[in-house]
Structure 1
């Protein structure tokens, strides 16, 4: 991925989503782009080309210049006709300093999602047992087989969401009391059985 990674400096800095999208569309004219992300600086971008050849081609043609016409790209905005056209200059460089794996791990969407403590979920439902048998094996098998642990199949008839912390605390207390009661019942059964044996 390092050989396909490109760092871009755009002048003037794109100030709207439409302008940033125009920069991406300009890059796609030279080949497939797998990733395009704005950096902290509004004029800086990181992009990942589909192949090393495409990245080398774009870098070799740098700087790239294109004209952006707001009225042609957006017909829904009433002020689009009043905005003047802009000419953007894009300088593209190879970079091997961008740590893709680190950025992926830092993403809030990376990894397994935390279990929602407010979601009452039964692990032995029909969908939970049936989906793993019909979903094709592969990288996404586990995620595609689980549609309940995060409340994706929310249904008020067969599931209840606890939205108040006090309700969650009450539910947990009931579970603890139930476990204690079951333990007392087991002790009573054992004592009763021992008493019967002694009487015999």
Structure 2
């Protein structure tokens, strides 16, 4: 398998972590859709990372879809429960975490627009989404080791990736002070080899 990814993309990091947790071999192809010579649009028509090319040259893109494909392979640990309803619950955790990440990415891009084009209102709107998402995740994490069931799931990975992205791009956001359960989850997750080996470069 080949994974086309940017080293700073939180969505690509989620997939790299899943691959590491499942010990699935793959070739990492570092490519950014923001570069002029990027190959990403020829692989993913939406021009986004990550994109996964299987050994049969089938392409999967969008991180929830890639995560779903990886669950079909004969690799452990299972990160999505077999029970259909429990699977939906874990997928909802992933969606909530990805929503926080989406808002953070949007806020970052808005903050980088030139003076006169940047909208403080839009940035505030996205930060409010982040805060509401974190509040809900804190509620779900309180009193638990794992966000669903008694073992690591896709939900834990997606949430920790979102928190790591906030640390990378919004270091001033003091989410730990008001979300102790998430802070504890982050500390546990960030210590895992799959997270330490995929830590994004600063800059």
- Provide TM-score, normalisation by structure 2: 0.21
Q: Which has the higher strand share?
A: 1
The higher radius of gyration belongs to 1
Q: Which structure would you say has the larger RCO, counting Cα contacts within 8 Å and 6 or more residues apart?
A: 2
- Provide TM-score, normalisation by structure 1: 0.21
